[in-house]
Every structure is written in C-alpha cells, then in structure tokens.
Amino acid sequence: MARSSAQPPESAPVAVVGAGYAGLSAALALHDRGVPALVLEGADRVGGRVHSGRTEHGVVIDHGGQWVGPTQHRLLAWAERFGCETFPTWETGRAVELWHDGAVREFTGSGPDDGPGVAEYHDAVARIDALAAGIDLDAPASCPRAAEWDAETVHSFFRRTVACSEARRRLDLAVQGVWSAEPREISVLHLLFYVASAGGFDQLMDTAGAAQDSRFAAGAQAPALAAAERLGDAVLLGTRVDAVEQRGDGVVVRTSRGPVRAERVVVATPPPATAGIRFEPALPTARQRWVQRSAMGDVAKVHVVYPRPFWRDAGLSGIASLYGADATGVVFDNSPRGAEFGVLAAFVYGDRLRAWSAMSARDRRAEVLGTLARLFGEQARNPLEYLEKIWPTDEWVRGGYAANPAPGSWIAHGAEGWRAPCGRVHWAGSETASAWHGYIDGAISSGERAAREVLAAL
C-alpha cells in the first residue's frame, strides 16, 4: 500500500516525482523490468488530475479525468491489466443546444446534421484535419509551416478563415471544451499538434468511438490505485519534492520528509508544479522557459445528483452545448451505469470559469442549476447533491485538463525544452506525450517513454 507518513529511504536507484498516471506509469514500467523506483507524491492520494470519489448517496463520480476512448490503447491496457470495468457513456436521446439569442435546438447522434453554422463548422474541421496531418508528433516544431502557425492564435485563425459567425461560435466552444482555454490563448501549431496527437478533430470532440466513449464503473482513478497497490511501499504520499540537485555521481532529491539519493530522477509533475521545484544546477534556459510559459487550462467540473435521470423520460440524452452567457459550456449525463441515480456533469471553462469562480458559492450553484432547469426542466433546480471541483484552486496541479504552451513557445523553446532529458533528470507527464497529449493515455505513455530513457541510461 502507498504510505503517507513514512520517512523516505536514504537512497533508491530511481526516484519518481508525482504519483499521477505518468509517475505511476514510469515507476510501474521500471518495476516490471526489475528496477525499483521510489515514487514521491506531495498530496495524500495518488491519481493527480484523476480523482474519483463517492457522494453522500454513494454515487461514484470523477472530479477530474473520467473518459477513455477506443484508440487510447495504453489506458485500456491498464484497465485490462487491473480488471477495471468500463461502460459506454450515455448518449441515447436528443442533445440540446442553447444559443446566445435564446434559441433551443435539438439533435440526435454525435452532432447536428444541419442548423446555423453546421456546414461551415465541418468545412473548418476538414481543413484543420488536413493541416494536422503534416505534424510530426515527436517534433511538432519541425514542420515547414511551424513558425507561421505558432505565431498565430487560434482566435485570429478562426476569424481569418471562417466567415460564418455561428460556425465560429461552434469552434470557439470546441476549443474551450477540449483545451479548457480561450482560442486567443493557444497557437494554431498547438491546436494542430493536439488534433494530430488524438488522431483527428472529431476524436477529440465525439462521444461514441472517440475520446468521450466510455467511463470507468469504479471511477477513472481505479487503475491508478491498482498500480499504486502493485508498487506497494515504493509510493510515498504526503512527500513534497522541493529540490532536485544533480551531483557528479547521482542526484539528491530534497523532500518535505528528508533527502533521497538516486541514480536517475523522473519528474512527472504538471509544468506549473515543475516550476516550483528548485533544480541545481539550474535547468537549461529552453526547459525553464517552456515550463514557465505552459499555463494550465481553466476548468471546473460540477456534479449534480438527482434521484433518477428524469431528463431521459423526456427523450433527452442529458448532453448539452451552451453558446450564450451561461457559465456552463457543456453538460453530460454522468449517471452511474445502472442509473440508480441521475447525475449531470456541467463543465465551466476559460473566461466563463474566471467570472463564475469569482461568485459566492450560493450564486455559483444558482447559476448552474438555473442553466440545467432551462435545459431539462424545473426539476433540475432541486437536486439531492451538488458538488463542484474548481481545478485552478487545486493545491497540487492548479488547473486542467492540461497545460497549454503560450503562442510562440513551441518555436522558441519547444525543440529543446519540451521533454529532452536534462542530465540525470527525465521528464514525464501528459504534457510530454506524443499520442493523446493532455489525456490520461498520454500520461501513461509518457511515463513508459521516460522509463525507457532511464533503463537505457542505467
């Protein structure tokens, strides 16, 4: 079992910083090859941005990452290895769109076949997919048009290339929903890389057959808990890493519970957390700048629990997209597999989050319930439970879903600063992944890549 009050041992062949999916994956890959790795986790739990819990009524919910898609082979392999069951995301029935002018539109399937801006949206997605096909997933800054693409924000790109304002509203919400950032905050190059990394724009957006395909019956933290169980005493909780000092013959990792000597270190923390660790000697400038200029996205996830999924009686799927002034951007039916309760999950992103999170707790709740009532009826105003997780206030990761490099950063610092090892220090984390960058699957593959680097160097 992971330990929370243990002193770290004086030394370990490999130290891993962070027990999110990336750190656990690096440690597990080393463990599987007979190399002990000590995992140092600051929080009192494993899983990082994946945090499952039970509500007062016993309903399993995921405050952070939750979905797995059919091409997320690394996460599916963990699910199989540890016997963690998944089930399809509920999308039976009509989805609802609420527009800025108050118009309500409904559709079935993965998206509307017609309506304002739909054809132009699909044209734009096809153009994005065509451009993304040219991205080298291991060196995004190396493609011929990288400098031009990294110099332009997605906001400017959409306004320059998409004439239809409704299509732009659809694209803006897609960016908020996938990157939990505003289109002005990311570059075209980062957008194209992310799209390529997932295998296409619709892979990021869709439910069945794509990123939102399935959920974990016991919560998405279950595979991480099982991996930590497998690693046993090698996972130390409540052990914050403050400094990583490289010496000629090894590394000293300074933690809140004392120092650990190691041959190699894998740092698997989100970029803002990495920036809070003191490195000696100082990291190369490119790595420092990359970490400093990669800001976490802004997202909150609100779960609202009802006695039953009453919206299904009216033929509604519980899925909604909001193009107006509501704080909520997107809603999903997050009810448990057997629908013993009805659960709606509302996502609040970007600028909407900045305004909403400044409200009082009471006003935040009223705002979200008011939106759900307009979408699904007055019953939505009277839930059994209301729970919110505002990720920018999380002490350890400070945002989500992932960090997005500021426009221009890929070109200026990406080649050296993205994930190249710095001496005996190796980098893991969803933000260092080539495939499914920003997702749990990417976190796992990044840990496996870092473990390969370490094994080659030991």
Q: Residue numbers of the site for ligand FAD (CB under 6 A)? A: 17-23, 40-43, 48-50, 64-67, 240-241, 268-270, 273, 277, 299, 301, 391, 396-397, 400-402, 429-430, 438-441, 443
Which are the contacts of 248, defined by CB distance < 8 A and separation ≥ 6?
A: none
Q: Which is nearer to ligand FAD, 40 or 192 (CB)?
A: 40
Nearer to ligand FAD, 213 or 326 (CB): 213
Q: Is the distance from CB of 66 to CB of 401 less than 8 angstroms? A: no
Cα 113 to the center of its chain, rounded Å: 29
Q: How far is the CB of 170 from ligand FAD (least distance, A)?
A: 21
Residue 2 Cβ vs ligand FAD, minimum distance, rounded to whole Å: 11
What is the DSSP-derived secondary structure letter of residue 202? H
- The nearest distance, CB 76 to ligand FAD, in angstroms, is 11
Pairwise CA distance, residues 317 & 340, whole Å:
16
Long-range contacts of 8-12 (CB under 8 A, 24+ apart): 8/38, 8/40, 8/236, 8/239, 8/255, 8/257, 8/258, 8/259, 8/260, 9/38, 9/260, 10/259, 10/260, 10/261, 11/260, 11/261, 11/262, 12/36, 12/37, 12/38, 12/234, 12/260, 12/261, 12/262
* Residue 256 or 382 with smaller CB distance to ligand FAD: 256
Tokens representing residue 22 in the block: 């990336």
Least distance to ligand FAD from the beta carbon of 389, Å?
7
Which is nearer to ligand FAD, 20 or 111 (by Cβ)? 20
Q: Closer to ligand FAD by CB, 192 or 241: give it.
A: 241
For residue 267, give Cα distances in angstroms to 9, 16, 234, 242: 18, 6, 16, 12
Nearer residue to ligand FAD within complex by CB, 99 or 386: 386
Q: Which residue in this structure is represented by tokens 């057997």?
A: 338
Q: Give the shortest CB-156-to-ligand FAD separation in angstroms.
A: 27
The distance of closest approach from Cβ of residue 163 to ligand FAD in the complex, given in angstroms and rounded to an integer, is 32
